[in-house]
Amino acid sequence: MIKMKKLEIVTTFYPVYDFTKNIVGDVANVKLMIPAASELHYYEPSAKDMAKAHDADAFVYHNENMKT
């Protein structure tokens, strides 16, 4: 039996993390880039944050196409 490596996914803020986690379930490791208690409008990603997003298999973020 071949054991596949889980996908690594980085998301921006909590609602996007929760949405992604509910979609992928246990198939991937989903990580949150912006800490839950942070003020989103003033958050500036560090070089380490950018490296995590770059090295991930997928980066999920909110944009104008995700309106309800």
Instruction: Give tens-digit pLDDT for 2-35.
Output: 778 899 999 999 999 999 999 999 999 999 999 8
Most confident of 14-28, 36-50, 53-67: 14-28
Higher pLDDT, 54 or 43: 54
Per the model's pLDDT, the better-predicted residue between 36 and 48 turns out to be 48
Q: What is the dihedral of CA 17, 28, 59, 37, to 10 degrees?
A: 30
Q: Is the pLDDT of residue 47 over 60?
A: yes
Within 10 angstroms of residue 18's Cβ, the number of other Cβ atoms is 13
What pLDDT score was predicted for residue 67? 60
Q: Which pLDDT score is estimated for 35?
A: 83
